[in-house]
Amino acid sequence: MSSYNAVRFLDSANHTCTPTSASADLRHVLRDEWGFEGYQTSDTGAIDDIYANHHYVPDAKTTCCVAVKDGQCDIDSGSVYWDNLADAVAAGECSQTDVDLALQHTFEVRVRLGLFDPIED
């Protein structure tokens, strides 16, 4: 679960502090170095905080894209994805492939847990 805070990494846009839910560096450690194969979810308001409190990006649509890009934050437990992600993809701000990867992470966990198995199993 990503948190509300920001971490000090110098990213490609030269931000000195990156909200954890938008951090490609944290995604790299989680997925590439540690081999994590589950899904990453946000704390309830953490995605909203990317633009509303950290002012990391200008709006909610852009927030969705920086959070979901490369599987950084697969699930938003708040409402920012619900309200804006489809519009962000339709506007070309991020790709359907990014969203599909997030869905893949969430459904792979559910399959491993047996949530789609017959009830008698």
Per cent of the chain over pLDDT 70 is 92
Can you give the pLDDT at residue 93? Answer: 92
Q: Examine the pLDDT at 14 and tell me if it is beyond 80.
A: no
* Angstrom distances, CA of residue 111 to CA of 2, 79, 104, 106, 116: 23, 25, 10, 9, 6
The domain limits of the chain are: 6-112
Instruction: Give the H or E element holding residue 66.
Output: helix 60-68
Q: What confidence category does residue 86 fall into, taking pLDDT thresholds of 50, 70 and 90?
A: very high
If you average pLDDT over every residue of the chain, what do you get? 88
Per cent of the chain over pLDDT 90 is 60
CA distance 23 to 46: 12
**pTM for this entry:** 0.83
Can you give the pLDDT at residue 81? Answer: 96
Q: Which residue has the higher pLDDT, 83 or 42?
A: 83
Mean pLDDT of 92-100: 94
Active site residues: 43
Cβ-contact 77, 44 below 8 angstroms = yes
- Give the angle subtended at the CA of 16 by the CAs of 12 and 19, to the nearest 5°: 90
Cβ-contact 26, 20 below 8 angstroms = yes
At 30-57, the pLDDT tens digits run: 889 999 988 999 888 899 999 999 999 9
